[in-house]
């Protein structure tokens, strides 16, 4: 498919700086995860960690569980083993809170159940779970639900990436970042992915 036939890429290319990132990194997608609960666990593991550290700890976490996370598996897992995998006591608590919420109402947080809800409503519902903050909820919108127009300015890499790409690394206010991202609408999740790709390259 030609870029002109792709509404995402043709929209992003209206911003010349973003067009250069599209050329550099090729097509990036915002495909929802196969398993919403497992993806939420990944976001909790990733909280306040570098990409490399988070990936290593997530791998050990999955090993402890004997496979991809399920609510029952997380609730049954030995706390000492989870701590030895590199999870803090706080994160173990958060993972168990999320597991309990999904176990008690397994449909409440699925793509199907949330399909008609606004992003703001989804964030409100998720952040009622202790351990799920605004950043984690926005990661859920992008990676678990596949929402296309999310701008997670609570993410340090997004802010640093926008500053690097658009302002030679000099500081920008969040209002200025929102203004920059206006031209990416209604595909700000994709623009965010390109900013991450550039920041991590």
Output the pLDDT for position 119. 96
Output the pLDDT for position 49. 77
For domain 36-144, the CATH superfamily is: Hypothetical protein; domain 2 (1.10.340.30)
This prediction's pTM:
0.88
CATH number of 7-30+151-200: 1.10.1670.40
Residues of the chain with CATH 1.10.1670.40: 7-30+151-200
Q: In a 3-state reduction of DSSP, which class is residue 36? A: helix
Per-residue tens of pLDDT for the chain, all 201 residues: 456 679 999 999 999 999 999 999 999 999 999 999 999 999 999 887 777 888 899 999 999 999 999 999 999 999 999 999 999 999 999 999 999 999 998 778 989 999 999 999 999 999 999 999 999 999 999 999 999 999 999 999 999 999 999 999 999 999 999 999 999 999 999 999 999 999 988
């Amino acid at each position: 498919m030609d870029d002109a036939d792709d509404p995402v890429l043709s929209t992003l290319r209206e911003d010349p700086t973003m067009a250069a990132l599209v050329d550099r990194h090729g097509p990036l997608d915002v495909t929802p995860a196969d398993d919403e609960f497992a993806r939420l666990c990944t976001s909790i593991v990733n909280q306040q960690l570098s990409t490399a550290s988070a990936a290593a700890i997530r791998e050990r976490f999955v090993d402890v569980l004997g496979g991809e996370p399920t609510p029952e598996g997380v609730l049954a897992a030995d706390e000492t083993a989870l701590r030895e995998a590199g999870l803090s006591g706080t994160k173990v608590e958060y993972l168990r809170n999320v597991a309990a919420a999904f176990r008690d109402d397994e449909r409440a947080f699925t793509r199907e159940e949330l399909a008609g809800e606004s992003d703001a409503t989804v964030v409100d519902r998720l952040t009622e779970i202790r351990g799920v903050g605004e950043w984690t909820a926005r990661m859920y919108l992008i990676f678990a639900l596949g929402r296309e127009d999310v701008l997670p300015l609570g993410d340090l890499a997004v802010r640093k990436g926008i500053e690097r790409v658009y302002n030679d690394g000099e500081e920008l206010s969040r209002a200025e970042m929102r203004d920059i991202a206006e031209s990416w609408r209604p595909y700000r999740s994709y623009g965010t992915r390109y900013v991450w790709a550039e920041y991590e390259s």
